[in-house]
């Protein structure tokens, strides 16, 4: 353990901040903030993102970001973890129908209760059962008991189909800066931003169909999210004509928010 995570966690708790407070302020997802504090660096997107996230987080907590980065870089295990691929997400837990044995026991108990009630109704209170050779009073003769069929052999109902995933219409693209970077951005073909922002700043673009990054000056200085999902990091320093497309285009026109 490098001690970097404990240092950052202690500073955050001293300031009374939650993971969600940090996420809203520096545009880094709460999942990554918790992973940094627990020093699970392998779950972050890549080496450039790890150092950028740690530096922005340390500055936000008013710590010496150079000292925090130096402590992180001095640990070989941390460097190995940051280059390992992120772990696969845990499998979704599907609800399972109750076992046949449990269902059979439940149905057997219901049938037993029906039999007890039927027998009590037929024979009456204890001590008043008629003798075998006693004449039958036709007026007071008990009604025939109708027995219900044994439902034990019935098949259990099929489980309900899982709910369809939520469909997001339109497009919200967010850019988080970890160092100065120049961008030229258009939304649905209209210019929305052209210029440079610095470390700790962010940019939000809304579109109906697509967002075009006409030019990105330093890809390692930013991260881009699409409708809340982090996009893969770039392999080149400068990228031109990079397009982010909405999964479901929005019919109504929307504005852009820088």
pLDDT tens-digit series, residues 52-66:
899 999 999 999 999
| CA angle, 127 then 128 then 133, to 5° | 110
- The C-alpha atoms of residue 26 and residue 114 are separated, in whole angstroms, by 65
Phi, psi of 248, rounded to the nearest 5 degrees = -130, 110
- 237 or 87, which is more confident: 237
pLDDT category of residue 165 using cuts at 50, 70 and 90: low
pLDDT at 31 over 50: yes
pLDDT category of residue 111 using cuts at 50, 70 and 90: confident
Average pLDDT value for residue range 75-90: 49
pLDDT category of residue 124 using cuts at 50, 70 and 90: low
**What value does the mean pLDDT of the chain take?**
78
Return the percent helix, strand and coil in the chain, to nearest 5: 35, 20, 45
Instruction: State the pLDDT at residue 18.
Output: 95
pLDDT category of residue 258 using cuts at 50, 70 and 90: very low
pLDDT at 72 over 70: yes
CB atoms within 10 A of CB 22: 23
Average pLDDT value for residue range 204-218: 93
pLDDT category of residue 176 using cuts at 50, 70 and 90: very high
- 39 or 91, which is more confident: 39
- 130 or 192, which is more confident: 192
Average pLDDT value for residue range 142-157: 56
Instruction: State the pLDDT at residue 219.
Output: 93
Phi, psi of 26, rounded to the nearest 5 degrees = -115, 10
pLDDT at 148 over 60: no
DSSP-H helix ranges across 29-175: 30-37, 47-60, 65-73, 76-83, 100-123
CB atoms within 10 A of CB 217: 15
Decide: 248 and 169 in contact? Cβ < 8 Å.
Answer: yes
pLDDT at 240 over 70: yes
Instruction: State the pLDDT at residue 206.
Output: 94
Percentage of residues of the chain with pLDDT beyond 90: 38
Is the pTM here over 0.85, yes or no?
Answer: no
Instruction: State the pLDDT at residue 27.
Output: 92
- 195 or 169, which is more confident: 195
- 172 or 130, which is more confident: 172
């Amino acid at each position: 353990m490098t001690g970097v995570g404990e240092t950052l966690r202690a500073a955050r708790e001293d300031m009374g901040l939650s993971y969600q407070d940090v996420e809203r302020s520096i545009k880094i997802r709460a999942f990554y903030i918790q992973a940094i504090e627990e020093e699970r660096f392998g779950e972050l997107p890549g080496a450039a993102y790890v150092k950028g996230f740690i530096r922005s987080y340390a500055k936000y907590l008013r710590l010496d970001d150079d000292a925090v980065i130096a402590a992180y870089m001095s640990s070989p295990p941390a460097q190995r973890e940051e280059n390992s691929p992120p772990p696969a997400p845990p499998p979704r837990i599907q609800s399972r129908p109750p076992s046949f044995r449990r269902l059979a026991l439940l149905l057997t108990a219901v049938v037993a209760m029906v039999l007890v009630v039927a027998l009590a109704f037929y024979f009456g209170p204890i001590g008043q059962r008629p003798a075998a050779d006693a004449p039958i009073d036709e007026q007071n003769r008990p009604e025939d008991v109708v027995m219900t069929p044994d439902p034990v052999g019935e098949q259990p109902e099929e489980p309900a189909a899982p709910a369809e995933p939520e469909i997001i219409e339109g497009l919200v693209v967010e850019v988080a800066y970890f160092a100065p970077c120049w961008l030229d951005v258009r939304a649905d073909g209209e210019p929305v931003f052209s210029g440079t922002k610095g470390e700790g700043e962010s940019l939000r673009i809304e579109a109906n169909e697509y967002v075009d990054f006409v030019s990105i000056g330093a890809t390692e200085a930013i991260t881009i999210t699409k409708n809340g999902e982090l996009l893969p990091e770039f392999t080149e320093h400068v990228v031109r004509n990079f397009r982010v497309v909405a999964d479901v285009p929005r019919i109504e026109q929307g504005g852009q928010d820088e």
